Structure 1
Amino acid sequence: MDWSKVWTSFFVMMSLTTTVGFIYDGDPYALIASVTFNLIATLLKLGSKKTLSAELLSTSLAADLHLIPALIFYEMGTRMSLVKAMAWGGLVANIFSVVLIIIETVIETREDNWL
């Protein structure tokens, strides 16, 4: 079992689910958790040398660049609609990241079966 992949997938999923929780409920602690989980996932993706590692890192950076400003805007008291719109952007990036993780798993499984 590839533990780095387990932890990366775990933190991506945690960011995804806490972002959904924030969009649904508007609880700032869910947004803080989502930002934290996503930053950890980004750091874990930095050293990866897999097939889709560049694409996975770019989706994580896109989610960071949506979730961090959302948290800053929330703390500044900016319109909640803007904060939620930024959170939606992070959510879409994380969904795309999960899709890429699934595709990479299928590719790796096929490569292992050919050996």
Structure 2
Amino acid sequence: MQNIIDLLNSFGLNINITGNINPLVYIAVAFLIFNLIVLLSVVNISIYLISLYIINTNKYIDTISSKYPYILKIIKYYNSTRVSFIFLELVFLFGSIGYMIYGSVKLLIILS
């Protein structure tokens, strides 16, 4: 946990760890990590679906390849990915959301 807090401090959050730290700080860090996993999963799935749409509608490929060659490389990368990769991203997405809901409910039960 100390390594994660050091990483967050390097991004400017300035979390001070002392001997008596509030357990809610640990919960907040865990929720931050799960929210980042959800965000990255949604972005990955969105880029995959957009690249499939662009590949299937050939009218956009010529425009993209002439103006933005680096985007064409990204599209080709996502076009070569397997469906199992997207399934794994969906498992991360729903697993993280499920864990956050479960943690919130458990925290509400404990605090009430």
Please tell me the TM-score bracket, short chain as reference. 0.3 to 0.5
Task: Give the greater-gyration-radius structure (CA).
Answer: 2
Higher share of residues assigned helix? 1
